[in-house]
Structure 1
C-alpha cells in the first residue's frame, strides 16, 4: 500500500492528533510537511516527523504558495482561518480534510462548498462522531428497523465544566467575533450527528440560550482577577486555574495548550501573564454557557438538543421510535423493544480509544485516506452537501437565539 503524503497545517493539539496516525499506520499515511506559526511547536513537530527545514513553513500561505508537495492537506487552524486555506488547497489540487467548522458565516460555508464540489477532490469535515463505534451502532439500530420509525431524538452535548472554563471562557473559543458562536464551534458535530441519525432534512429551528454564569456579576466575594493572585475562594472553586493547570498531568491536554514550557515555573508564568490564569468571572468571554435547540425534520420528526457547560461530560442520546427506543451515553447503548417490553444493553465501550473521540479520530482518518488513495468521493461521509447543511442548522440556531424567531431552512 502506498501511503498518502500529507501536509499538516496547524501543529497544535488537533494537528498532532491527526499526524500521529502516520506513526500508528505508516503504510497508510506519511507526513511530508507542516505549516505552524509557533516556532517551538513547528520545531517539535519537525523533529517528531523528521521533516527537512524546507518542508516547514511559518504560515499556511507559505505552504500553499510553493509547488504542490503532498497528496492531501489536513487543516487544523483556528476557526476563522478554515475557509481560506481550504479553498486555496483545493485550487492547488490537494485533497482536503478540514477541522470543523468549515466557515464561521453562511457565506463562507456556501462558498467553500461550491469550491469543494467544483474541485473533484476528496473534501471532508472532521465529523469524528460519525466514526465512533458508539454512534455507528446507534445508526445500525435505527436502520435495522428494530425501534420502528424514528419520531423524536433527544440529544445532550455535556460540554464538561472544566472544558468550558478552558476552551470557551479563557481559551481560543471564548469570543464569537474572534472565533465563532459556540453552537457552531462546539456543536456542529452534534447537528451533523442528528441529521445523520434522522436521515432527513431539517426544516425549522427555534433556539434559546445565554451566557448565564461566567461573568463579572457572579464573581464570589474574595475572588481576584487571576487565580494565582491569592484568591480567597480558589480552593472551593471548581474552575480554579491552579487546579486545572498546576495539579494535573504536565504533558497532556489541556495543560500542553497554555505554554510551551511545561515545567512548574513555566506553567506558573503562563498563569500570571496569559489568558489561562484569569478568573472565569473576570475574563472577556461572550459565548453562551448553555443553549437548547428545537428542530423539526422532514416527515414530522422532532428533535431537541441541549448544550451545557454545567456537566461532568459525555454526550447522551435517546432515539424514540414507533416500536422501541434506544439510549446511549458513549459507554453503553440500551434498546427497549415495545413489542415484548424487553430492555437490553446491546453495546459497551471496550476502552480501545484509538486516539480520542471514542475511536472516531482514527476511524475518520482511515476512511479519508482510503477515499484519497482510490480517488473515490463516495467513500467519505458526510458529503459536501450534508456537511454544509449541518453548518446551516447551527447558524440558524444561533440566529434564532439572537432574534427570538423560528427559522425556516
Structure 2
C-alpha cells in the first residue's frame, strides 16, 4: 500500500511573502498556485460573539497583518466585552444590537454573522445593502425563501458571501474532491455518508441546548447536517438532485423514557450515577479536571467557567435539566436518500447515539474504484490493479492555534475568506452563493419529504422541469483516459 501526504497551502507557510502583502494561495478550482495582492488588514465586525464568532475572530490574533476586528455586536454584555478586550475594540464600535451598525456609515470591510439560526436573515440582508462582505454561520437561514433573499441581496450589492460550510475547507475533504475530479474512481455511482453526532454532544446541543426546539431554532437536519448534504452535493459534481426521500424521528429523549425516580435536575437526581447523559458527568466532571472549553464554556456563557459557576448554571439553567424532561422536539436520527441527474444515488445518515463525536465516515463507489474516508485518511481501491492507495492529510495549522476545529477547517475557512475580500476575488470561495443556496434547498426538500412521508421531486418543488432522461449529459460522456 502506498501512502501519500499532502498539505493545504496557506499564508502561515509563507510568512516572508505575507510580510510584503502577498500570499501564495491554492486555487480551489484549479489546484494551481497564484499570487494575489493583499490590501491593508481586512477590517471585520463580529455580529454574535458566541463560540463561533470568537473562534473565527481569533484569526486576527494569528494574522494581525491580514485581519483586524474593529467592531462587535451582541446583546450579552459578557460576550461583547470579552471580544472587545481580546481585540482592543474601540468603545464607540461596541454595540448591543447589530442594527446600530447598519445605521452607521460603513466602518469595516466585512462582517462575521454568528447569531442564532433564526437571526441570520435580517442582519445579512441589511449589512449586504451597506456594502459589507459577509461570512455567515451555517445554516444560511431557516427557510428557503430567506436563504434566497440573502443571496439576492449579496449579488445585487456585489458583496462576497461565504456561508460557513467549514467542511469544504477541511484539507481531507478537499483532497476527496480532487481525487473525484481527476477520475481516481471513474464515474461516481453511489455515495454513503454517515454523521455520528456523539451521545453527549447531542444531549448538550439538541436536547438541552440552543438547537433542541425547532420553534426556537431549526430542525436538526438543517442545524446539524446541512454541512453533510452540502458535501454530498459538492461531490456530485454539478449534478442536480432530482428526487429525495427521508425518514427520521425523535428517539429515546422523551418523557416516556424517564427512569423511575429521576429528578427534574441532575444535581438532585438519585439515579444520576446510572445515566450516561448526566449533566454532572458532561459538565462538572470536566471542569473539575480543569477543562473550561466546549461544552463547559457554553454552559457558563456569561461568566468564567469554574466549579462554582458551572454548579450554579446546572442548578438554574437549561443545561442542568434531565434529558427526559426537556422541551426538545428535533430528530435524533434521520436518513436521507437522494437521486441525482445521471443516475448517481446517495444515502446519508445522522445518528445521535454514537461513541464518536462528528467523526464522519464516507464511502464513494465509482465505476473504476472505491474511495473511503474516516477521520483524516482517504483510501482509494483501484479495480484494475486491485491495489489500495492511502492519502493522509496533514493540516498546516499548528496545534497551538485555537482554530483547529473541524479538522482545522475553521482556520482555512477564514483564511480563504480574508484572501477573497483582500484580493476582490470571490472565485477563491469554495461555495459560491448559488451553489450554497442549491444545497440548502436540498436540505429543505429532504425535511419536507420526511414530514410528508413521500418522495419529493426536487425540480418540481423548485418550479423547474426535470431533465430529459434521453439527453446525453456531460457526466455520461465516455472518459478519454
**TM range, smaller chain:** over 0.9
Alpha-carbon separation, structure 1, partners of 2:388 and 2:417: 36
Query: Is structure 2 residue 229 aligned with structure 1 residue 191?
Result: yes
2:266 alignment partner, SS class: coil
Cα deviation 1:221-255 (Å, max 9, x = unaligned): 222111111x2321221111001111114420110
Could you tell me which residue of structure 1 aligns to residue 107 of structure 2? 69
Query: Is structure 2 residue 314 aligned with structure 1 residue 271?
Result: yes
Which of residues 181, 204, 218 is equivalent to 2:257? 218
1:325 alignment partner, SS class: strand
Conservation of the 8 A alpha-carbon contact between 1:169 and 1:280 = yes
Could you tell me which residue of structure 1 aligns to residue 274 of structure 2? 236
Alpha-carbon separation, structure 2, partners of 1:323 and 1:291: 30
Alpha-carbon separation, structure 2, partners of 1:278 and 1:25: 41
Alpha-carbon separation, structure 2, partners of 1:215 and 1:114: 41
Conservation of the 8 A alpha-carbon contact between 2:129 and 2:154 = no
Could you tell me which residue of structure 1 aligns to residue 391 of structure 2? 346
Cα deviation 1:111-169 (Å, max 9, x = unaligned): 11211221111111001101101101111111121111100000001111111011100
Taking the TM superposition and a 5 Å limit, the aligned residue runs for 1:47-58 are 47-58=85-96
Taking the TM superposition and a 5 Å limit, the aligned residue runs for 1:3-402 are 3-199=41-237, 200-229=239-268, 231-249=269-287, 250-259=291-300, 260-311=303-354, 312-313=356-357, 314-348=359-393, 352=398, 354-402=403-451
Larger Rg: 2
Conservation of the 8 A alpha-carbon contact between 2:144 and 2:441 = yes
TM-score (norm 2): 0.83
2:150 alignment partner, SS class: helix
Could you tell me which residue of structure 1 aligns to residue 11 of structure 2? none
Give the drift of 1:335.
Answer: 1.1
Conservation of the 8 A alpha-carbon contact between 1:261 and 1:267 = no
Alpha-carbon separation, structure 2, partners of 1:61 and 1:329: 43
Conservation of the 8 A alpha-carbon contact between 2:171 and 2:393 = no
Give the drift of 1:344.
Answer: 2.9
Conservation of the 8 A alpha-carbon contact between 1:124 and 1:383 = yes
Alpha-carbon separation, structure 1, partners of 2:230 and 2:241: 11
Runs of 4+ in 1 over 3 A off after TM superposition: 348-354
1:270 alignment partner, SS class: helix
Structure 1 unaligned blocks of 5 or more: none
Alpha-carbon separation, structure 1, partners of 2:58 and 2:225: 25
Kindly tell me the number of residue pairs found equivalent between the two proteins.
408
Conservation of the 8 A alpha-carbon contact between 1:121 and 1:375 = no
Conservation of the 8 A alpha-carbon contact between 1:97 and 1:124 = yes
Alpha-carbon separation, structure 2, partners of 1:330 and 1:117: 36
1:284 alignment partner, SS class: coil
Alpha-carbon separation, structure 2, partners of 1:56 and 1:198: 43
Aligned Cα RMSD in Å?
1.3
Cα deviation 1:160-199 (Å, max 9, x = unaligned): 1111011100001001111011101111111111111111
**Range 92-101 or range 337-346, more displaced:** 337-346
Give the drift of 1:328.
Answer: 0.7
1:186 alignment partner, SS class: helix
Structure 2 unaligned blocks of 5 or more: 1-20, 22-39, 459-481
Alpha-carbon separation, structure 1, partners of 2:311 and 2:368: 57
Could you tell me which residue of structure 2 aligns to residue 407 of structure 1? 456
Give the drift of 1:371.
Answer: 1.0
